[in-house]
Every structure is written in structure tokens, then in C-alpha cells.
Amino acid sequence: MYTTTAYAVTDGPASDMGIWHHKIPVEVLELGSDAVAIDERIAPEPGEHVIVKKHASAFFGTNLASLLRAAGVDTVIVTGVTMAGCVRHTVEDAIGYGFRPIVVRECVGDRVAGVVEWNLFDIDAKFGDVEPLETVLDYLDRIEPFEAASARVAAEAG
């Protein structure tokens, strides 16, 4: 699953930005602009979801929890920026929705020095697990792909 924060209407009473425009420049997060595009180096494959969110958390106001539950997911691996905003709020909501959050230490960032390390410490203490990239990749290598697991379950039930 991929997320981006973007707004179709960024000013006036019909804004889908709420009052966030009082804190950030609205033109920065315009829907369809390069600023909110997923980096082409990690672009979604056909069939992968891109959720356009309006708030920091990938869960708040989106269908992410429903999509994950429908796919039988119980653990979320969180990467991205901004550590003190989107990453942290996503992790906090993930555990609130009953998912085990894992943050990949080398795959998060922030524009403010020190914010990453402090938030990694606090998340690891309270909300989820912080793991190095190598550990997460090893974990993913051991997981049976969804399609294979579905076929196996169907065969066992048949």
C-alpha cells in the first residue's frame, strides 16, 4: 500500500484541506502535482493501492484498515516521511486498529535533525517495533505470498 497526502481544492470554504492550510502552504500538496507523486524509484506495481490521505495518519479517514483486514494482514511495516508526522501517526493508529506496527529504521526521515531518533526511541518504547532493514527483509522473505497462502487454504478446505 502506498499513501500520499494531497488536496483537490486547497482554498475557500469548499477546501478538502480543512484548516490545515493555516499551517502549511496549500499549493505544495495539490492533487496531481509532482510534489505529491510517489517516487518513481518505488512506484506502485499494477494492482497495488495508492491511498490519497487528507491527514497525517494513513489510517485516519481512509479505508486502509479495511483493505488490510480483507487481505488477512496483521502486521504493517511503515516507511516514509515525515517521522514526527505521517510515520508516527500511522504507527499510533496502526496499533489502535489492532495491527502490529514495525518501523524500518533506515527507511524513515524528517526535515528536522534529531526528530527521527527521538521518535524511533519513543515508538519502540510505546507503540510498535523499530527494526533494522536487514531484519525486516529477512522477515519478509519468510512470509508465504498472499496468493500462495490463499491457494493452500482453498486446497485444504476443498
pTM for the model: 0.87
Q: Measured in Å, how far apart are the chain's first and last C-alpha atoms?
A: 31
- Tens-digit pLDDT profile for residues 71-95: 999 999 999 999 999 999 999 999 9
- In the residue annotation, 86 being an active-site residue is answered as yes
- 89-to-10, 14, 84, 115, 129 alpha-carbon distances in Å: 22, 26, 8, 14, 14
Q: Closest by alpha carbon to 128, among 105, 106, 100? A: 100
Task: Identify the active-site residue in 29, 64, 68, 86.
Answer: 86
Domains and their CATH numbers in the chain = 1-54 (no CATH), 71-158 (3.40.50.850)
- The mean predicted confidence, pLDDT, of the chain is 91
Report the pLDDT value the prediction gives residue 146, as an integer from 0 to 100: 73
From 62, 55, 58, 57, select the one nearest 24 (Cα to Cα): 55
